[in-house]
Structure 1
């Protein structure tokens, strides 16, 4: 016989809230990273040394953009998690309502 399984929709909503906070923080980090790279005169200058540091496929600018894009993707994944958890909690409540009416 299977063990008893219990799910509390309020706790599922609580986890969704936490995941939403993480999503929002990640989105903010990505935005700040983009702003830092695109803000006016670059701190590394426009000489040969600065160009070696910043430019190219493995340079700071490309790396920063890749990091921001990855962070956006992670934020989006947390957004999907929030949506799934919220829908699951709603479905659990609905199922409980329907089952309660039968007994």
Structure 2
């Protein structure tokens, strides 16, 4: 176990902000993909060939693949910036460590500022 823990809360907040920026960029890409995809939706037609393309043999065609792609990209955003994502958890840890430091200063008097 380490003898001491050094933590820079302003740097931690900066990192969390950068993670949110990445999450926002992922969301933006997903939004642009959805718009482009919607513009071409149904272009394969309603005939047998078009339906096979769209739905596949066992529900594994273009539409299912597209849905899965959206899930993957959206999960990347959730992992980074969602309610239980990296950035919010990092912020929570920053708050907890800051509160612990304040408590320790009050309890043991002074310390490094």
TM (norm. structure 1) is 0.77
Gaps of 5+ in 2: none
Count matched residues: 103
Per the TM alignment, residue 78 of structure 1 is displaced from its structure 2 partner at its CA by 0.6
Assess if the C-alpha contact under 8 Å between 1:31 and 1:68 holds in 2. no
Q: Identify the structure with bigger relative contact order (alpha carbons < 8 Å, sequence gap 6+).
A: 1
Question: After superposition, where does 1:1-103 map in structure 2 within 5 Å?
Answer: 2-40=2-40, 42=42, 51-56=51-56, 57-79=59-81, 80-101=85-106, 102-103=108-109
Further displaced range: 52-61 or 23-32:
52-61
Per the TM alignment, residue 53 of structure 1 is displaced from its structure 2 partner at its CA by 4.4
Gaps of 5+ in 1: none
Assess if the C-alpha contact under 8 Å between 1:27 and 1:75 holds in 2. yes
**C-alpha RMSD over aligned residues:** 2.4
Assess if the C-alpha contact under 8 Å between 1:55 and 1:61 holds in 2. yes
Per the TM alignment, residue 50 of structure 1 is displaced from its structure 2 partner at its CA by 5.2
TM (norm. structure 2) is 0.71
* Cα deviation code 1:53-84 (max 9, x no counterpart): 44424433332221111100110111111110
- Structure 1 distance, partners of 2:41, 2:104, is 64
Per the TM alignment, residue 89 of structure 1 is displaced from its structure 2 partner at its CA by 1.0
Assess if the C-alpha contact under 8 Å between 1:44 and 1:54 holds in 2. yes
